[in-house]
């Protein structure tokens, strides 16, 4: 084993040149949680947000210099240099499409350089709006991940698609959901806690947080609000440039007084705490972080069958997952405050059991330790 002095195994984390925010954050949280059990080196992440420039963890960690560009086109010479950079470590961890070249270098030159085991992470998959399952990316991942000891994904849906499109054996797929902070005090913020928006006495709010500019899932919500009692309002958080179409729909239906568009939710915990129902409008295969945070805040979640959140809510909440755009689930929750509270509590229990930081850290620790011990 290539351990550093003191016996700590050496782990090399290879991130894209422009790191995905979610994968960078999860990586640093995991490194911090693992403490001094491992020695960590970081490569990549030089361009963009700079999330990885200063890890800021009180463990044996450092930035690794001299590593060639990781993302984009890399010729044979670059692949060789990437492979050489991995030599001498006990474990290599790669993150996302932007670091898939490192997995390819490991696949091609792993035996030549006696490279250590490699674990690839697909956290934050699809959050940048990219077509992660395009034919080209499927083919490249299929080859590059051929020598990966394990592939980590966040949801069972991504695991299913990875098994089919990337041909990763089920035995090498590991589902580790993203850790979510659990709000336990149950205190409600002040009605005017959101800039430019006040929750008036007697009002109930259904809300959603949208990512990017895809508002297709929001438009039906405006039409459903018509069927709810007059004290129910819809609050949509997101980039203001993406909210224009929502405003036009609300104006057309003469519902602008019941549809509110405050922009981005700066403090998501405050925004969620003011809601009475969370509506999941996420699509594709991105991890539904906002929906899980809403569950942690004690909210019932309205979602559609087949959505990323549908299989993650508590069992009582699953009875309200529909396969259409009708307002049935909305009406049930709007009319029964007791049901909202019961489902919200069940969702909190679900998050505590499956999405807590300790749970994720235990799984990562077991996975990395197993790889270091030579478990296949």
pLDDT in tens, 193-218: 988 899 999 999 999 998 766 677 78
Q: The tokens of 350 are what? A: 């679900």
For residue 191, tell me if it sits in a domain.
Answer: no
**286, 228: one domain:** yes
Name residue, tokens 């044979």: 76
For residue 365, tell me if it sits in a domain.
Answer: yes
Residues in the chain, overall count: 376
Rounded Cα distance, 373 and 223, in Å:
56
Interacting residues of 308 by C-beta distance below 8 A, sequence separation 6+:
155, 157, 280, 282, 283, 284, 285, 286, 287, 288, 291
Q: What is the pLDDT of residue 243?
A: 79
Other beta carbons within 10 angstroms of residue 36's beta carbon come to 10
For residue 194, tell me if it sits in a domain.
Answer: no
* 12 bridge partner residues: 41, 92
Contact 40, 64 (CB under 8 A): no
- Give residue 324's domain range: 204-354
Q: What is the pLDDT of residue 49?
A: 43
Q: Kindly report which listed range (5-19, 40-54, 171-185) carries the lowest average pLDDT score.
A: 40-54
Name residue, tokens 């947000």: 49
**318, 238: one domain:** yes
Q: What is the pLDDT of residue 32?
A: 85
Position 62 pLDDT exceeds 70:
no
For 301, the 3-state DSSP assignment is: strand
Q: The tokens of 278 are what? A: 């969370």
pLDDT top residue among 166 and 268:
166
**336, 366: one domain:** no
Q: The tokens of 92 are what? A: 């290599």
Position 283 pLDDT exceeds 80:
no
For residue 2, tell me if it sits in a domain.
Answer: no
Question: Cα separations (Å) of 128 from 14, 152, 284?
Answer: 19, 18, 11
**120, 214: one domain:** no
The CATH number linked to 162 is 3.40.50.2000
Mean pLDDT of the chain: 86
**130, 279: one domain:** no
Say how many domains are in the chain.
2
**327, 362: one domain:** no
**77, 97: one domain:** yes
**229, 156: one domain:** no
Q: What is the pLDDT of residue 150?
A: 98
Report the alpha-carbon angle 32-171-359, nearest 5: 30
Position 53 pLDDT exceeds 60:
no
For residue 195, tell me if it sits in a domain.
Answer: no
Q: What is the DSSP string of 64-125?
A: PPSPPP-SS---HHHHHHHHHHHTT-SEEEEESGGGHHHHHHHHHHTTTTT---EEEE-TTT
């Amino acid at each position: 084993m290539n351990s550093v002095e003191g016996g700590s195994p050496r782990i090399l984390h290879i991130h894209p040149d422009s790191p995905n925010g979610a994968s960078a954050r999860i990586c640093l949280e995991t490194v911090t949680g693992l403490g001094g059990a491992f020695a960590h080196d970081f490569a990549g992440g030089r361009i963009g947000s700079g999330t990885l420039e200063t890890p800021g963890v009180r463990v044996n960690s450092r930035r690794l210099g001299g590593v060639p560009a990781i993302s984009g086109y890399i010729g044979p010479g670059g692949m060789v240099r990437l492979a050489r950079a991995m030599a001498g470590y006990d474990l290599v961890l790669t993150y996302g499409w932007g670091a898939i070249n490192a997995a390819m270098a490991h696949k091609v030159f792993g035996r030549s350089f006696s490279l250590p085991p490699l674990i690839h992470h697909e956290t934050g998959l699809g959050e940048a709006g990219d077509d992660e399952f395009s034919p080209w990316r499927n083919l490249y991942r299929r080859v590059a991940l051929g020598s990966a000891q394990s592939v980590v994904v966040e949801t069972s849906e991504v695991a299913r698609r990875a098994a089919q499109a990337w041909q990763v054996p089920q035995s090498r797929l590991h589902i580790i959901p993203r850790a979510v902070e659990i709000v336990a005090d149950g205190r409600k913020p002040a009605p005017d806690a959101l800039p430019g928006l006040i929750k008036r006495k007697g009002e109930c709010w259904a809300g959603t947080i949208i990512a990017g500019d895809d508002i297709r899932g929001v438009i039906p919500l405006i039409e459903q609000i018509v069927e709810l009692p007059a004290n129910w309002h819809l609050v949509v958080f997101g980039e203001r440039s993406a909210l224009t179409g929502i405003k036009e729909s609300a104006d057309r239906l003469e519902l602008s007084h019941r549809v509110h568009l405050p922009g981005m939710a700066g403090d998501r915990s405050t925004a969620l705490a003011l809601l009475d129902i969370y509506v999941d409008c996420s699509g594709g295969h991105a991890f539904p972080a906002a929906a899980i945070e809403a569950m942690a805040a004690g909210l019932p979640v309205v979602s559609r069958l087949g959505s990323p959140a549908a299989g993650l809510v508590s069992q009582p909440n699953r009875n309200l997952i529909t396969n259409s755009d009708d307002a049935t689930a909305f009406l049930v929750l709007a009319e029964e405050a007791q049901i909202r509270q019961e489902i919200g509590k069940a969702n909190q229990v679900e998050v505590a059991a499956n999405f807590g930081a300790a749970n994720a850290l235990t799984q990562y620790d077991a996975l990395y330790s197993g790889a270091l011990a030579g478990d296949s």
